[in-house]
Each structure stands twice: as C-alpha cells, then as structure tokens.
Structure 1
Amino acid sequence: MARKKRIKIYSSNGKKALLLSPEEITIVKNDPSYEKNYEIEFNKGKQAFEVRNYYAIGFWKDLLFVLIGAFLSTIAIDYFISITGNAGLFPGGLGAIARFLSIIGANNITISASTLYFIVYFIMNIPLVIFGFIKIGWKFSTLTLIYSIISIFFDLILQNIPYINPNEFSLLIDYNLISSLPGAWGAIIWIFAFAIFGGMINGFSYSITYKGNASTGGSDWVTYYYSKKLNKDIGSLNIKINIFILFIVICLNTIILKTQHIDQTIKLSAIYNEYNSWNELINSDLGKALDPILSAEDKVSIDLFNSWKNLKSGNWNNEDWFNISKYISSSSEYDSYYTSTLVWKMKFKWIIGPSLFASLTLIITQGLTVNRLYPKNKILNLFISTNKINEVQQYLFSVGYTNNIFIWRTVASKKNAWNDQEQDLIMISMPLLYFNKIEDYLIKIDEDMIINIIGSKAVKGKNFSYTFDNELREKALTEEFMNNGKLMKKIESNTIIKTHKKMKKNGVSIQNEV
C-alpha cells in the first residue's frame, strides 16, 4: 500500500509544525471553528502588516515632528505663559482648565506650576486617549499620547538646567520683576507681548504636530473625530468652545485670586473711584490705617504728606486723592484693609481686564499662525498630464481620494518634436495638506508627469470631501495584504495549527505533532 503524501505545516515563528496529508488538511479546514480562527489570524496579520508598513515608511518622520512640536510647546508654556503668574495668561480649551488646576495645586505642593500643568493636562487627556484609540485610530492616538508624555519630560529637563531654566532665565524680559515694580502700564504691556510671542511659538508647535499626523490633545480629539465623521471643518465651533472655557476659567481664577496678584492699575482704578470725601475715607478701615503713616512727615515723601494734609483739611480734590490712591495701590501692605465690596470691584475689573484680553490675544495669534503654517482648508486644483492614467487613478483611490476625477484625451504638441503625442489630462481637487503627503509618491508613478497646480478660492456643494476616505485606504491595504502570498500562507498555516489543536483538545485526532 502506497504511503500517503504528507505536508509539513509550520507556524509563523517556525517553532511548531504539523505533518498532515492533503485529506487531513481538508478535514481541519471543514471544522466549524476553522473559519472563525482564520478571521482572527487574518485581522491579526493585517494589523501587523499595517504597523510594519507605517513604521517602515512614515513613523520616524511623524515622530520627529511630534518631538519638535512638544519641545516648542514646552518653551511656550514655560517661558511665556506660566511665567506670567497666577493672574497671567491662560491657553484655550482644556489647557485653560489644566492651568487653573495647576495654579491651585502649586500653592499646596512644592512643584512648579508649569510642570504641574503638563501633568494635569496629561491626566485630563487619559479618557480622551481611550476615546481616540476606539473611535479615531491607533496611529493618531499613539502619536498624540507620545506628545503629551514627551512634553512632561521636556519640562522636567528645562526646569532643572542651571541658568536657563524658566526661574532663572527670561525670554523678552523678567515678567515677575516688571510686574512687581510700581508703574501704570509696564506689566500690562508686557503681558500682551508675552501673549503674542507665546501664541506664535504655540501656533508653530501645533502646526508641526499636526503635520506629524498627531494633535496636542484636549479638544483636538473631539474636533478631529467629528470633522472626519461629518466631513466638514468644525474649527470655528471649536474656537468658540475654547473661548467659552477660557472665560469661565478666568472667572473662577479671579474668585480665588489674592488681591496682591491683581495688577496695580486695576487696584488704582477701583480705589480712586471708591471714596469721594474725607469723612467717607477716614471712617473706613483703610483710612484709619493710612492716617498715622501719611500724617507723619518723616515717614513718607513730602508730596504724599502734603496731599494727605490737603484732604484732611477738608480740601478734597482729585489730584491729591489720585496721588494717595497711587501710593495705596502700589503696596500690598494695605490689602487687608480693603472692604469686601472694594475687593470684588477689583476682581470684576480684572475679569474683563488684561488677563482675559491678553489670553484672547494668545489664542488668536496661535490660530493665525496655525492657519498660515497648516492651511487645512486650502483647496488645490491639480491638472496632471500623464501617460499612466490607470496607475494614477488606482493610486488616488488607494489613498482614499473620493472627489471627482475629470479625464481628457488630449494631444501634446512640443516645438521641434517629430510627432504630436497623445496624452491624458486629469483634473482633481483636494486639500493642500493631502497633496503634500502624496506628491512624491504621485510623481514616482510617471517620471514624465507634469502637474499644474492652481489654488481654489472656494468650493461650493455638499458632495465635496475635505478628507480622504479611511475605508478606501483600508480596502487598498487589505488588497495589498491579500496579494502577499507569503503572508497569506502564514495565516493559513497558523489557522490550521490552531484549529487542529482545538480539535485534538475536543477529542478529534487528526495527526500527531512532529
């Protein structure tokens, strides 16, 4: 009797093998569990294939963008935002909440407010990271998670470098020093300067991070998800939400703000308008605290002494009272003598004062910088002259392009050419950002290709897609994966081994392992 031909089946790691005849392999494949096992192995293999392709082609470039973006964002937070103190600048959205909580926490634990900001921001992003992995995708979510973690490490490094850490080294000017000096407008002018430069650096950071197929976290998770799902830009809604959160946070921060952190000009305005007569002033706790000091010629300047003397004599005038108000507002010595009504007036003025408008300046500058460097809504019309029309179409569909492709059969005529040549002309429309990603691959299809690029002022109509279709990319990836005979053979072998093991466990013996 002739011996049956047997086939040795290896697992993907090459360690486990079965020796089965073709008939036995057929029995295994007909088992009810085979189809389910095959689906599991197929999905596992396809995901590994996608990961390998991504890490081989784009991951390191994206990671470099994310690292640069995280470093610049850390510079913006440490040297331009957190340095402005408890009553200073706030970023928009979730960052504003993180900054507020870091201010509260820094008062109770020995850690810098900027370091605590990055830690709190990371913790607040954890639920959104989970949402991202489920709803958006592993590449975007992984890189965004890396951004958040790396930002913490960059901050810890900067905080511990001698001489150039934010506490010892100042960019532009020492804001803590300038804000503590008596002066009407010094700190206010500089907080707007910090807002502009901080916004520009943050905008540059965000743009680079976006180009790395990641985000900075926070509301970007939800914005990215819904812009993909609804196929439209909801950036304007995101800006409104960020500004609303900013306003609420500044209100909450103002409630807990100590009067010593309120700017001198705000104090001056509130104090100057609070009292209108000598009797009203001298009967208050503030007036009683001032009188022994300002009545002694040897304790204050001659101008202050004379101004107080004039007010005390019943000659109430705005000039003398303004001099006294400036003296009071320039020192925190009298903060405890303010009435609660006066304190709330100061805080109300502060809510609609420098902190809010400087923070809005920060957000606007940041947004303008992002729009300039990362023009996600700029549309290009591409006229492509090529002899490989089918390959171009196939590539466009494989990367998820879903808009119309217009094709003309043309004749190309060139000077000094022997014959006119037939050539295809394709017109497509897509966002600039997507073209930047596919340009190099597109040109490689046809070395003689000519691409004429024309900017589009606007696109009207609901059927135009501003994004590439993930399903089409997934389909193209699946086709490429299935055309790889070696990988498909591994999946089949793994499935046979897995099914055979289960059959053996259930008492169905096919063949012993070798």
Structure 2
Amino acid sequence: MKKRVKFKKPSFSKQVKLFFQKIHNTKFTRIMRSLLLLTLAALLLTLTFNYFINPVGFYNGGFSGISQIIVYSIFSSPKEQAMWFYIVVLMLNIPFVIFGYFKVGRYFTVYTLFFMLMQTAWNFILRAIPILDQLKIMEELILPKDTDTGKAVMTLAAFIYAFIGSIIWGFAIAIAFIAGGSSGGSDFLAAYLAVWKKQGVGKFQKYMNYAIIVLAILIKYFVQKNEDNLIYAFFKNFTLYVSIIFATISTVVTNFIYPKFKLVNVMIFTKLPLDVCEYFKTHEYPHDTTLISSNDIKSGKVSGTIFATISLIEYKKVKYNVTRIDNKAFIVVIPVTMVYGTFNIQRFN
C-alpha cells in the first residue's frame, strides 16, 4: 500500500518571497516604487536648496530661479525665503500642470505634482525640527559679512557650495525622471520640447536655466538700484558665474545618469508572438516593428522574434507589458549609436 505523501507547507520566508515575486510586476508595485523614488528626490532637492543654495544666495535655473527672484525681492530673512519658496513654486506651476497633463502625459504630470507637494512637506518637516532648522553645512565656509553693510560677501567659497549642490541637485532630478516625473515648471516645457525635437531634456533645461539666471541678475540690479554701470555690474557679479556653474553641472549630471533619449534596439523572443504583436498594434507604437516566425529547436513549438527600435522613455513600458503577455519572454537590448530617417517618440507615458 502506497504511503500518502504529505504536502509540505512553504516556510514563512518562502511565502514572503513568493508574495513579492507575484506582485513585482503589478501596476500597484510600479506606482509605489515611483512614489518612493519621488519622495527621495524631493528630499534631496529640499536639502540642496535649504543648505547649499539659500545660504549663499545664488540662483538656480528653471521655475526655481523665478521663485527665488520673487522671494528674494520680498523677504530678506533666509528662513522666510526658504519657507515661501516652495509655496511660490506650487503657485507658479498651476498653469504648467494643466499644460503637462494634456501635452506631456498624465502620469508624468501627476508624479510631478506629487514631487512638488513632497518638496513643500519636507521643507516644513526640516523647519519644524530645531536642530535641522539651524544646521549649517560646512559652517567654516559660510560667507563672511561686510562690516559696513552686514550683507554676505560673495567669495570663492560660493563655488564649493555650487559644485557640491549641483551634483546633488542633478542626481535628484535624474531620480525624478527615472520615477516618471520631474521637478515641475520648466521641466514640463523641456520634456515637451525634447519629445518634439527628439533631443535630450538636459539640453533644453540648460538653455532655459541660463535665460532665467540672467533675468534674475538683471531684476536684482534694478531692485537694488545699483549705481554701477549695468554691463559692469552684471559681469562683475559673482552670483552670475556661480549660478551658471550650478546650472551647467546639474544638467550634465542629470543627462549622465538618465540619458532620456538614448535609443536601443530591442529583440523579443517569445512563444506568443501574435499576442505580443497585437500589443504593439493596439498601443499604436510609432515605430516599425518586425516579426520573424520560427520554430523552437528544443521544443519544436512555434515561436517568434520581434525587432523594434525604441527610446529609453518607452523601453520600461514595453518590457512591463511584454512580460505580462509572456512571462517567459526573453528580451535583448542593444544600444543604438546612429539613426537615419524619421523616428517618432511617444509621450512620457
């Protein structure tokens, strides 16, 4: 008589592992991962502004720079400037949130709005903790004050703040884009222009940042009623050079970490070629996609290889949807160095 084989229940750790494997590719998991990355990126940007940009007083590009122009013109206290900065950023972004929703992408806009709200939340959290509110990074390098005017004197120490702060800022912006969002403001315009012109977002960010920095310096000149000649006052201003260094390095770091318009060749080996092809059809992908039918040597079953050239913006979504259709699909990704002819790119989501 055969003995009954008892079913061995998986251990608790095995059950937890299986659970996370099951939800790994779910939409909920992807959204939570994106929100976590955006929360981290918002914290890094808040730390950079509060401890590197604001103490020195140089200008960042984008809508952050415009917000700085407003708060620096109205408030003199660094604490008031830091507090109102994020509120002004939110107010200025309202029309661009609407623009981004229709012209850039829904998820991109929602994630960006979440990012901006988290920036404001992190700022109030940092201000509510006395130790963090009074914290000064590299206090020995804090700019000395003029004995007559009491104002901070721009010295070479400002370049150290700009260099360190720009790396953190660029890294945080890259994380936000990887998560599917951005820091808002000019990033909406940069993302739209990048999709339209099929070029890197960092290029458009850089030029817009330069324009805003120049505008900020000019406004500061007229608000303070500087008696020097405009051109002389403009080019002797350390703030101009420090701000340009910050804007340049931060965009270089962002593009280095996440080259958003890098192209790749994708080869998809699947046992469900017709189902995968139907996905490309129904989602109206703008690229030519080629299917080569074949038989699997080992099993003898009908299989297929699908070839497509896509951007990194689209690859994440393609990978997710293809593996949902065929969880045993094998995907090979090859970088593309040159493309001739028309190449269209979908929106960010």
- What TM-score, normalized by structure 2, do the two folds share? 0.79
CA shift in 2, pair 1:136/1:425, >3 Å: closer
Matched residue, 1:432: 312
> Residue 136 of structure 2 is aligned with which of 161, 170, 178?
170
Q: Return the letter of the residue paired with 2:161.
A: F
Matched residue, 2:119: 151
Q: Name the SS for the 1:454 alignment partner.
A: strand
Q: Name the SS for the 2:132 alignment partner.
A: coil
CA shift in 2, pair 1:439/1:352, >3 Å: farther
- Residue 351 of structure 1, CA deviation: 3.6
Q: Name the SS for the 1:188 alignment partner.
A: coil
CA–CA distance in structure 1, aligned partners of residues 276 and 36 of structure 2: 30
Matched residue, 1:202: 169
The range that moved more, 444-453 or 428-437, is: 444-453
> Residue 345 of structure 2 is aligned with which of 448, 466, 489?
466
How do residues 207-222 of structure 1 correspond to structure 2 at under 5 angstroms? 207-222=174-189
Matched residue, 1:233: 199
Matched residue, 2:335: 455
CA shift in 2, pair 1:403/1:116, >3 Å: same
CA–CA distance in structure 2, aligned partners of residues 371 and 142 of structure 1: 22
How do residues 323-342 of structure 1 correspond to structure 2 at under 5 angstroms? 340=227
Q: Return the letter of the residue paired with 1:100.
A: I
RMSD over aligned CA atoms reads 3.1
CA–CA distance in structure 1, aligned partners of residues 200 and 103 of structure 2: 17
> Residue 117 of structure 1 is aligned with which of 66, 85, 96?
85
Kept in 2: contact 1:196–1:365 (CA 8 A): yes
CA–CA distance in structure 2, aligned partners of residues 244 and 202 of structure 1: 19
Whether 1:245 aligns to 2:212 is yes
CA shift in 2, pair 1:187/1:110, >3 Å: closer
- Residue 378 of structure 1, CA deviation: 0.9
Matched residue, 2:253: 369
- Residue 75 of structure 1, CA deviation: 0.8
- Residue 218 of structure 1, CA deviation: 1.1
CA shift in 2, pair 1:158/1:174, >3 Å: farther
CA–CA distance in structure 2, aligned partners of residues 174 and 383 of structure 1: 55
How do residues 6-405 of structure 1 correspond to structure 2 at under 5 angstroms? 56=28, 58-85=30-57, 89-107=58-76, 111-165=79-133, 168-178=134-144, 188-228=155-195, 230=196, 232-233=198-199, 235=201, 236-257=203-224, 340=227, 344=228, 348-349=232-233, 351-405=235-289
Taking only the aligned residue pairs, the percentage that are identical comes to 23
Q: Return the letter of the residue paired with 2:213.
A: L
- Residue 111 of structure 1, CA deviation: 4.9
**Which consecutive unaligned segments of at least 5 residues does structure 1 have?**
1-53, 260-339, 471-514
CA shift in 2, pair 1:201/1:400, >3 Å: farther
CA–CA distance in structure 1, aligned partners of residues 233 and 177 of structure 2: 37
Kept in 2: contact 1:65–1:208 (CA 8 A): yes
CA–CA distance in structure 2, aligned partners of residues 217 and 187 of structure 1: 29
- Residue 113 of structure 1, CA deviation: 1.3
CA–CA distance in structure 2, aligned partners of residues 398 and 468 of structure 1: 16
Kept in 2: contact 1:400–1:469 (CA 8 A): no
- What TM-score, normalized by structure 1, do the two folds share? 0.55
Kept in 1: contact 2:198–2:261 (CA 8 A): no
- Residue 247 of structure 1, CA deviation: 0.8
Q: Name the SS for the 2:155 alignment partner.
A: helix
- Residue 400 of structure 1, CA deviation: 4.7
- Residue 405 of structure 1, CA deviation: 1.1
Q: Return the letter of the residue paired with 2:107.
A: K
Matched residue, 1:475: none
Q: Name the SS for the 1:84 alignment partner.
A: coil
CA–CA distance in structure 2, aligned partners of residues 219 and 432 of structure 1: 21
Q: Return the letter of the residue paired with 1:124.
A: L
CA shift in 2, pair 1:241/1:187, >3 Å: closer
CA shift in 2, pair 1:215/1:424, >3 Å: same
CA–CA distance in structure 2, aligned partners of residues 372 and 357 of structure 1: 22
- Residue 376 of structure 1, CA deviation: 0.6
CA–CA distance in structure 2, aligned partners of residues 354 and 461 of structure 1: 45
Q: Return the letter of the residue paired with 2:272.
A: K
CA–CA distance in structure 2, aligned partners of residues 358 and 469 of structure 1: 32
- Residue 135 of structure 1, CA deviation: 4.3
